Structure 1
């Protein structure tokens, strides 16, 4: 079924430290930026930016600009999004599951794992694209959270999957998450981590800053330390929890995406027009990494 966007009034109730005047001020600045899709951005969009930037007006401006700049440039993940055969194949390969139960600190939790462990079916750009579609729809419906915990279950991962990670694609994903994803990222947890997880970390470490590195948590196979953050019962049934089955979750996620194609048709229009960018040379993929330093600070528990 088509989802209903959370109301801006509900967001003001959830975040009493944010006022309509704050959002109006950000809107006033947006009017002066002809390269940005300001007329297509709702007050909820602006509030999501302002919230994740800890109510800093200057940082919010920088992150908002970079967020939509990267959505324009990173075409593998964001161009002309729709529920096509690639997305359907991806959701048969990887489970991406927002859990209804919050973490012990009240943060939103997304659980991800392989459903098909054949490395030949592992296409990381398509997985990143599917994840962002599910995430965008979830945020459209639920709005802000105190923070986000991302759990990646590696129990079906094999070393050959690392060979399927294209370095530039990985760099783009991590840069987007680190610099301008509109959420307060609290933890990235690798659970059931095999011995070769150290090789994954060797790939990741040069691509991220210390702040992001510090929120990555490794939970080796056979440990139950993850359950101190997220209760065991919150996980899907096949993972030892009491939530729905993998297949039921997969079917529901695909149905959610298919039922909200209009959302993605409209979101596809929210892109940057570089020739209209005032007072600066147009950005491109070659010069975007490292642009103007690091803006958004991640929260560390």
Structure 2
């Protein structure tokens, strides 16, 4: 958070020739009329991120802004942003990092890889929390990008890990990723996919829209097909790339998170006051009919 937001905003107008100041101001005026939204804490940078993710459509941008902060208030992985032992365990169990090399279409790639294969250390909600925390921080620093590609390395992932997935959290995560996150999601890759990828897909496919299924690519163990999208050299050494080793990247990410504690404390203020929402409050059941207790952790033989 060392760079003033005004500087970051001006940078966006410089790099995005289609960014219309009057549109951003119009959305800001709309925001001031929304008593339930955290107006005083939402910056022009976040309006710009939303506007860019909606391809410059003002009406869609206002809907996504409202939805984004509503879901931040409701969803479990946005409830606790403390930098504590549970977050440290998540980020030492899973490597979650942005790669320096863009995809061949110019998209920014976020890479996820299991570092510790012990299923008992895998807490799905904590890993999702870590993912969205890093996304928020990265967007604040990076600003808009042409698109985002997610690369999930399934090496070391076992059926025991799948059995520890909380499907309520998975439903929330995929809904947020597809409907409310201020990004243009362009690619989603499973690499080193083993024979139980069908089990995983049967779990998460109900939460994916057709548009996401269309960009989903599954690369089996031993396949080099990911290289059609991004050079293999971009990956960590353990994945056959020329990047740093996973443990080094892990430590860099953890240190970055720790040094930005104030950012996450400030982000916690960006929540909705449902009692002030015109037309009445929204709850989890607004988005997921019969949500309460609708899923439990999957039991796999």
CA offset digits 1:149-198 (Å, max 9, x no partner)? 00000011111111111111111111111111110001110000001101
**Displacement after TM superposition at 1:48 (Å):** 0.2
**Displacement after TM superposition at 1:285 (Å):** 1.1
CA distance in 2, matches of 1:70, 1:200: 25
The yes-or-no answer on 1:284 pairing with 2:263 is no
Q: Which moved more, 1:138-147 or 1:114-123?
A: 114-123
CA offset digits 1:102-158 (Å, max 9, x no partner)? 111110001101011111111110000001111111111000110000000001111
**Displacement after TM superposition at 1:82 (Å):** 2.0
Per the alignment, residue 47 of structure 1 pairs with 48
CA offset digits 1:199-252 (Å, max 9, x no partner)? 111111212211111111100011101012111111111211111111111111
CA distance in 1, matches of 2:179, 2:136: 17
Alignment map for 1:167-206 (pairs within 5 Å)? 167-206=167-206
Q: Unpaired runs of 5+ in structure 2?
A: 290-301
CA distance in 1, matches of 2:146, 2:125: 28
Per the alignment, residue 144 of structure 1 pairs with 144
Conserved 8 A contact 1:234-1:242? yes
Alignment map for 1:248-263 (pairs within 5 Å)? 248-263=248-263
CA distance in 1, matches of 2:78, 2:2: 20
**Displacement after TM superposition at 1:18 (Å):** 1.0
Per the alignment, residue 229 of structure 2 pairs with 229
TM (normalized to structure 1)? 0.93
Alignment map for 1:233-252 (pairs within 5 Å)? 233-252=233-252
CA distance in 2, matches of 1:61, 1:187: 25
The alignment's C-alpha RMSD in Å is 1.2
Q: Unpaired runs of 5+ in structure 1?
A: 291-301
Aligned residues: 287
CA distance in 2, matches of 1:129, 1:230: 26
SS in 2 for 1:7: helix
CA distance in 1, matches of 2:256, 2:148: 21
Conserved 8 A contact 1:3-1:141? no
